[in-house]
């Protein structure tokens, strides 16, 4: 029986993005293995391996992880290894070097957004770019999910480079109609009035996602109208810093910190606009899901965001930390209230077809 191994630093990455591909391999007669640093149960997985992956390149546990994973790879003799997440992929490709030559194992790496990009710090370029360039020599196929990464990898790296339209979003998640009563109940539970103009940014609270900019945008918007409401569902990785900022600016009534939620598809049904103030993206699922739900977006000009939002067509793109321009674009789009559609090339079934060609 053929064997495939999926690796990522954490279980959540596999669970959020790769279950359809584990299912694909299962249905195509493969024995499916997964290696992460967690012990959660993974659907369609025949064998789970717990490896000492660490996110930081400076952690010595990654050396231990290389030894652990090499032992498994040498024993199992996988036909395909598909690796994800920056450090998970570094460890995996080093561990698989011998098996590539001896067992003809094919190593595929999906870059969900390089840490080096236009506008990234010199430190990121000095640390991550040389590592990725070197390891491209032991990568059979490198998959990129946005145009900037694709062009860079194609021109600079020594491996086959493919462009795939993200991990795919499932339109079936949005194939439902909420009744007016259900919408009213959800709005009430979130402290929203029918007259409110609701914006949503589902994302981890972090420096990378840059919600601080959005808080300042809200301060600007509320100078002229109190109808703007901002929903911020997502895990807090800032230890309450953004909540403190909101309190200091007196915006508690208009910005809702909602924590981790599993009903984003329903929240989008009661939202008017998607927003993103990210400094860095791969290809943002939150914007794709908003477009499936038919709502426009105002986003910052970073890789990934600008792949999805065409300025003036399905939303607007503003420069990072340009608070006034973002506020103006939000006010402009509010006055137009247009509907949008996500290009079907980003749908999950089409991404599975793209991946099928690469796997075969």
pLDDT of residue 58: 74
pLDDT of residue 120: 87
pLDDT digits (tens, 9 = 90+) for 83-126: 999 999 999 999 999 999 999 999 999 999 999 998 889 999 99
CATH fold group of domain 171-341: Rossmann fold (3.40.50)
- Give 57's pLDDT tier (boundaries 50, 70, 90): confident
Q: Is 144 exposed, middle or buried (0-12, 13-18, 19+ CB in 10 A)?
A: buried
pLDDT of residue 54: 87
Separation between Cα atoms, residue 149 and residue 280, nearest integer Å: 12
The mean of the pLDDT values for the chain is 95
Separation between Cα atoms, residue 138 and residue 313, nearest integer Å: 41
Q: Is 59 exposed, middle or buried (0-12, 13-18, 19+ CB in 10 A)?
A: middle
For range 239-266, the mean pLDDT: 96
**Residue 170 to residues 73, 156, 167, 257, 293: CA-CA distances in angstroms?**
32, 33, 10, 26, 11
Matching fold, domains 3-169+347-359 and 171-341:
yes
pLDDT for residue 45 is more than 80: yes
pLDDT for residue 227 is more than 90: yes
pLDDT of residue 336: 80
What are the residues whose beta carbons fall under 8 Å from the beta carbon of 267, sequence distance 6 or more?
A: 186, 190, 200, 202, 231, 233, 261
pLDDT digits (tens, 9 = 90+) for 299-354: 999 999 999 999 988 999 999 999 999 999 999 999 886 778 888 999 999 999 99
Token pair of 5, please? Answer: 């191994």
Q: Is 253 exposed, middle or buried (0-12, 13-18, 19+ CB in 10 A)?
A: exposed
pLDDT of residue 176: 85
Domain boundaries, the chain: 3-169+347-359, 171-341
pLDDT of residue 175: 85
For range 229-234, the mean pLDDT: 98
- Give 2's pLDDT tier (boundaries 50, 70, 90): very high
pLDDT for residue 59 is more than 90: no
Give percent above pLDDT 70 in the chain. 99
CATH fold group of domain 3-169+347-359: Rossmann fold (3.40.50)
């Amino acid at each position: 029986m053929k064997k495939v191994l999926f690796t990522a630093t954490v279980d959540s990455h596999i669970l959020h993005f790769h279950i359809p591909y584990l299912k694909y391999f299962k249905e195509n007669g493969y024995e499916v293995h997964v290696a992460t640093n967690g012990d959660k149960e993974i659907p369609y997985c025949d064998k789970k391996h717990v490896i000492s992956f660490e996110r930081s390149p400076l952690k010595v546990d990654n050396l231990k992880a290389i030894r652990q994973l090499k032992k498994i790879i040498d024993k199992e003799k996988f036909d395909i290894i598909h690796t994800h997440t920056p450090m998970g992929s570094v460890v995996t490709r080093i561990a698989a070097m011998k098996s590539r030559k001896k067992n003809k194992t094919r190593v595929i790496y999906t870059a969900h957004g390089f840490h080096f990009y236009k506008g990234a710090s010199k430190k990121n370029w000095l640390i991550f770019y040389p590592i990725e360039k070197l390891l491209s020599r032991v990568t059979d196929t490198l998959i990129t999910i946005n145009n900037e990464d694709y062009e860079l990898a194609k021109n600079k790296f020594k491996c086959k480079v493919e462009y795939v339209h993200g991990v795919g979003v499932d339109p079936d998640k949005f194939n439902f109609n909420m009744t007016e009563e259900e919408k009213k109940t959800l709005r009430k539970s979130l402290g929203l009035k029918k007259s409110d103009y609701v914006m949503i940014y589902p994302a981890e609270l972090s420096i990378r996602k840059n919600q601080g900019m959005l808080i300042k945008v809200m301060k600007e918007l509320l100078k002229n109208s109190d109808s703007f409401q901002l929903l911020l569902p997502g895990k807090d990785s800032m230890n309450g810093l953004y909540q403190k900022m909101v309190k200091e600016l007196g915006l508690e009534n208009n910005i809702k910190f909602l924590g981790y939620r599993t009903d984003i598809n329903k929240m989008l049904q009661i939202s008017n606009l998607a927003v993103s103030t990210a400094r860095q993206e791969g290809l943002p699922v939150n914007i794709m899901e908003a477009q499936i739900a038919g709502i426009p977006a105002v986003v910052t000009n970073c890789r990934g965001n600008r792949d999805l939002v065409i300025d003036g067509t399905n939303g607007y793109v503003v420069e990072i930390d340009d608070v006034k321009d973002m506020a103006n674009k939000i006010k402009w789009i509010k006055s137009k209230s247009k509907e949008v559609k996500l290009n079907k090339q980003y749908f999950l079934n089409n991404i599975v077809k793209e991946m099928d060609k690469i796997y075969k």
